[in-house]
Structure 1
Amino acid sequence: MPRHRTRYTLFLTRTGGRSLGLELTPLAVGLLFLFLGGLLGLGAYLGYKAASLRPLERRLEALSEEARRLSLALEEERRKNGALSQKARETEEELRKLKEAIEELRRRAGLPPKSVRPARLEPQGGPGLPPGEEPGWAFLKEEVLGLRRELEGVQPALERTLAREAARPRGLPLPYFREVSSHFGLRKNPFGRGSEFHDGLDFSAPYGAPVRATAPGVVVRAGWMGAYGLAVQVDHGYGYQTLYGHLSRLEVRPGERVQRGQVLGRVGSTGRSTGPHLHYTVFQGGVAVDPSAYIKE
């Protein structure tokens, strides 16, 4: 009795028009879902990144506006008094350093630069000062110190956000070899009958090609790992870990701190493998997730 191959039919209909039917193989359906999953993963990542930086962006915007207000007040005071006193010069220098610090934080957060120089001089001490109150250098000095304290409060929050972002694996573990020979998810058992769950991506690459870390972290395992053969597992913090399997040689040891892009080992075919390639797994919270959403730069 002839064996029929499984097919899926996708119908596209238009109101008042003819229907179009597309026949798809199970492989094509799987690739379509992987593609859609990758798009959803990329969208979720971009949304997460924007959400994590939005509070910092608002605080940096407020600091920029406060620095601009103080610049206006300093310019007005200079106009009134002519020559600057020593205290005035010190206040002006401190404000200049604050502006540079704000812009450096914006740059590190990936935010566009924002000028904090006064756009124009405004009468009566500049905007935001109490009505009828002359700014005076003592008042301005206290305002600048307050701005410095607030900026020092923003910096640790930014450092934590950037550290969390740096811990997220990104890019290819084999920068010059992009061909995926086996995707994440259910696949045909390459060693026999039936199907099996594949917890990563397999990249085709020549024997000995350098395998690189996709994020900074600490090597927690480096050695023989059963079906993975010679393998390296790196803990990046914030719940992220990556595993690099079927290596021919190790270049790191357990406990070693590695940087993104550092060589961890060489492509091989150790363990449960049918030929030279790299098995790459991404763990989030101890659970293997589809690396497709993480290999985009």
Structure 2
Amino acid sequence: MKIAVLTSGGDSPGMNAAIRAVVRKSIFNGIEVYGVYQGFQGLMTGNIKKLELGDVGDIIQRGGTVLYSARCPEFKNKEARKQAIEHLKNHGIDKLIVIGGDGSFHGAQRLHEEGIATIGVPGTIDNDIYGTDFTIGFDTALNTIIDSVDKIRDTATSHERTFIIEVMGRHAGDLALWAGVAGGAETILIPESPMDIKEVAERIQMGMDRGKKHSIIIVAEGVMSAAECGKELRHYINVDTRESVLGHIQRGGKPSGRDRVLASRLAAYAVELLTAGESGYAVGMMNNELNKTEFHQVFKEAQPYDEKLYKLSKELSI
């Protein structure tokens, strides 16, 4: 038996821990394991190398991915996938683990349908994959944001200003929501529950009226940019704002202990499923129990946001 592993889409802290677990779990069970470099792009070009124990030494603590990653829209083309499958077969590989997010899982599903046994491992900071409570990288990115919010709050307090902090999250607001609650933000704007900017302005004005000198607003990029948010606010109230866009700093850095353990457990489980002849699933962790969800179900269902946590954020930011 031979298993290949690749990382695809946006990188997330903990991907290296997942790669390490795939390699070591496979070798422990007498399975040859191969790394595919540059994601699906590398699969198409045959950038495949056999991995040994030493290849994954001292990577569990590193951010990013040692297998590199690349966007590959061409993989939607059946001819491109046929070429990729040919490269796998040339190495005697008929099983694959794909570490990535929703887009990566679509590629994994197509390979599953075309004869390559495939399992997906959720690696994305957005925490937007159905079938798992948390994705690999979310916890680390969250703590990176919290650290930034804490530092920005020092300046907001010193200069008596309202700071608007833009975080990642085009379609999912978990990073903004969790960071907002943990960082004590006065307002949190997320795609799942749009808030009228006039309401935001009124909340800030109420705070100013009772003597509040500064505020923190956290906005997910999928709602609007920090600059747009500041501009809209000034239509309703006279407020001195400063905007900060955290950007790709959220993706980097050493993975947290939680992400390292999550990555190790999910990747090892993926190897177990392939060894047992399973395919077409994304692995996940729900209520601290390992589980698997068919790809088509992952695509069909939206990851629910924590409405109770969002309500609590409003109650605590009065």
Question: TM-score surpassing 0.5?
Answer: no
TM-score normalised to structure 1 length: 0.28
Between structure 1 and structure 2, the one with the greater Rg is: 1
Instruction: Tell me which of the two structures has the higher relative contact order, counting C-alpha pairs closer than 8 angstroms and 6 or more residues apart.
Output: 2
Q: Which has the higher strand share?
A: 1
TM-score, normalised via structure 2 length: 0.27
